[in-house]
Amino acid sequence: MNFVVLLGLIAVSAVNATPLVPGDNSHYVEGESRYIWMPDGDGVPHLVDLEEKVDTESLKGRNGANNQYWLFTRNNPNNHQLIVNGNANTIWNSNYRANRQTKVVVHGWNSNGNSAINPMITSAFLAVSDVNVIVVDWRGAANGAYTTSVWAVPGVGQFLGNFLTWLVNTTGGNWNNFHLIGFSLGAHVVGNAGRTLGARTPRVTGLDPAGPQWGGNRNALNRGDGTYVECIHTDGGLLGIMDPIADADFYPNGGRSNQPGCGGSTCSHSRAYELFASSVRSNRFTGRRCNNLQEARDVRCTGATLMMGNNQLGKRGAGLYGLVTGGSWPF
């Protein structure tokens, strides 16, 4: 057999081989590998087949119509109140106040409203300001085969956008008070929600937006989904997107695995929402502007500053930013 052909066959079999060590994505080649380990909402890795056929039949039931909207405020910081789209009484009987800022938090794949991202970010916001926090539980579409969840994302985002439109129209709220935050697949959900709203929200934050099956995907989060769109990349090229897709893209510690204190991709991916929660509590992560993506990957950025994360609705900026963080809370 021709030596070059043999090498090619070895390479093909390598990227399609089933990885055996849970959470170890060192085998993964973006756009080529068939399998990748993805964490659920508790950080437990699951082996995902990126070539698994989309279950179009289950998509009929796995859509945004099943979204639940959980309200947390300083009056109910630990126990949510359910707001039901179309039922105004669920607003009037809740602690929602239209004159407050409203933070909307969306989890990722194989997760739900109780997954770690939600209490971490919710408690951070409520610790520093009197706001409404709406956690979007979209477990019906988020759980199950990853490939099918990817297909469900646009509809979930559209339903979220329609819910927020109803909420504002019903309560007389102000669009300038809304901040959408999404992790992994949830980052693409808030992107689609922002698009449905005509980019009226002043700030959209993507926390390590999911990478597999999202490169070149027109439904991915992008800089046109809000007045100001930002991303925090922590596992770029593996579970997250590496390329800049927002107005401002932050690359802490090079934007990829392994993040400080992490032993692999699963931890590095989740680090995005941990860093964001810390930044809300204490606005202290100073990004320096990079001339290009390679500088960001190499942590060699020395340009103008822009703070990573925080809870400021009026935040604005553009470009790629690098910074170094610690390996344990508050980083």
Q: Write out the catalytic residue numbers.
A: 184, 208, 269
Amino acid letter for position 166: W
Report DSSP state, residue 74.
T
Asked if residue 154 lies in contact with residue 219, where contact means CB atoms within 8 angstroms, the answer is yes
Residue whose structure tokens are 């956008």: 161
Return d(Cα 125, Cα 46) in angstroms, integer.
Answer: 30
State the Cα–Cα distance between residues 257 and 5, nearest whole angstrom. 32
Three-state DSSP class for residue 266 = helix
Question: What secondary structure letter does DSSP report for 179?
Answer: E
Question: Is the backbone of residue 86 left (phi > 0), alpha (psi -120 to 50) or beta?
Answer: left
Residue type, 147: T
Beta strands 305-307 and 286-290 are antiparallel
d(Cα 240, Cα 249) in Å, to the nearest integer?
13
Question: Closest Cα partner for 269 from 183, 329, 205?
Answer: 183
The residues, ordered by sequence, that sit 6+ positions from 85 with a Cβ below 8 Å of its Cβ are 67, 69, 159, 162, 163, 166
Q: How far apart are CA 26 and CA 20, in angstroms?
A: 11
Question: What's the sign of the alpha-carbon dihedral 71, 208, 241, 33?
Answer: negative
